Chain A
Amino acid sequence: MLQKGNKAPDFTLAASPDKKITLSDLRGKNVILAFYPADWSPVCSDQMALYNEMLRFFERHNAVLFGISVDGEWCHKAFAKDRNLHFDLLADFEPKGAVSRQYGVYKDGVSQRALFVIDDQGVIQWSYLSPIGENPGADGILQALETMAKTA
């Protein structure tokens, strides 16, 4: 798993059937990547619901959040609509798990439950691997963003 100080590998993934996101296009913004195992599963649903409530906190830190799993873009679309999510879910679908592998968080056919906070220059400033059945919450993300703001 990539750690603080590593350059975040660039990628382009579908955020919806007609929208793609390229990490390097987001230079100038902090980026939070939340890898998770599966749309619709209970822990992932709770975790994404929590982050959905937190977008304004992330915005205060000039940060944009993405969820990433190996689910396809149509599955993401249905899940996001059902849960009223206001942030993009990226489909690491084909080749399956390619981006998750680059970040060192692909195992047993799914993305692990892992968080990365990437600074506005594309460098990883914080990463965390959660036990797969445990919702990591967001306190670690906020602390990482605050530490970055202090040292910037």
Chain B
Amino acid sequence: MLTPPITSRDHVTGNQQGPTEIVEYGDFQCPYCGEAFGVVRDMLQALSNIKFVFRHFPLAESHEYAMDAALAAEAAARQQQFWQMHDALYLHQQELSDTLFPELAKQLQLNLEQFQEDMQDNLLVSKVEADFESGIRSGVNGTPTFFINGKRFNGDYRNLLAAVRH
């Protein structure tokens, strides 16, 4: 079961009041998460009843830029652009690097100085780590892992849309 349930600290998109709640634990550098990004985007376009949440699960020892990418998304969130950065990171997954993050921030017209300061903020590190820990407690064993209405979805993420429709 999802632990803790969706809270006000979470990043929510789709239908905020949607009756179907989907939570993804993801890593911006994980290729399967990159593939799942397209699946989620299509799902959110096809269905209007989905409340979608993204939580960080960076496998930082395996993926060099996973942690910094998560911090970039959180730094963007401080300027109300979490989802824009989330999408940009996945769209540029092949090019992740230290120089890409400010580049994307510039493209999103963020306050660059503030963005770079926030990237260094330990509070954001704690937030990402809290997401990771919640994932562990929820039974996440790799990325991406999805929860549908609080219950872990054990099927293939490519079938997520079909699973939600049923």
Residues of A that sit less than 8 Å from B by CB = 46-47, 49-50, 52-54, 57, 83-86, 135-139, 142
Question: Total A-B residue pairs with C-beta atoms closer than 8 Å?
Answer: 40
Q: In chain B between 51 and 94, which residues have their CB closer than 8 angstroms to a CB of chain A? A: 59-62
Taken together as a complex, chains A and B put the C-alpha atoms of A85 and B59 apart, in Å, by 12
Q: Does B139 contact A (CB under 8 A)?
A: yes
Is there contact, CB below 8 Å, between A139 and B136?
yes
Chain A residues, Cβ within 8 Å of B61: 49, 52-53, 83-86
When the two chains form the complex, which single residue of B59, B62, B137 contacts A139, counting CB atoms closer than 8 Å? B137
Residue count of chain B within 8 Å CB distance of chain A: 13
Complex CA distance for A136 and B62, rounded to whole angstroms: 19
CB atoms of A46 and B142 under 8 A apart: yes
User: For the complex, would chain B's binding face be called helix, strand, loop or mixed by DSSP majority?
Assistant: loop
Q: Which residues on the A side are within 8 Å of B140 (C-beta)?
A: 137
With a cutoff of 8 Å between Cβ atoms, the chain B residues found around residue A85 in the complex are 61
Chain B residue with minimal CB distance to A50?
Answer: B141
Which single member of A46, A53, A138 contacts B60 (CB below 8 Å)?
A53
Is the beta-carbon distance between A135 and B141 smaller than 8 angstroms?
Answer: yes
| Contact flags B119-159 to A (C-beta < 8 A → 1, else 0) | 00000000000001100111111100000000000000000
Task: Select from chain B the residue with minimum beta-carbon distance to A135.
Answer: B141
Least CB distance, B31 to chain A, in whole angstroms: 13
Bound-state Cα–Cα, A61 to B155, Å: 33
A49 with B136, Cβ < 8 A, contacts A135-B141, A136-B141 known = no
Residue of A nearest to B140 (CB): A137
Q: In the complex, what residues of B have CB within 8 A of residue A53's CB?
A: 59-61, 132
Q: Which residues of chain B are within 8 angstroms of A136 by Cβ–Cβ distance?
A: 141
Contact among B62, B136, B138, B139 for A54, CB-based, below 8 A: B136
Contact of B142 among A50, A52, A83, A86 (CB under 8 A): A50
**Given the contacts A46-B141, A50-B141, A50-B142, A57 and B62 also touching, CB distance less than 8 Å:** no
Residue from A46, A137, A138 having most chain B Cβ neighbours under 10 A: A137
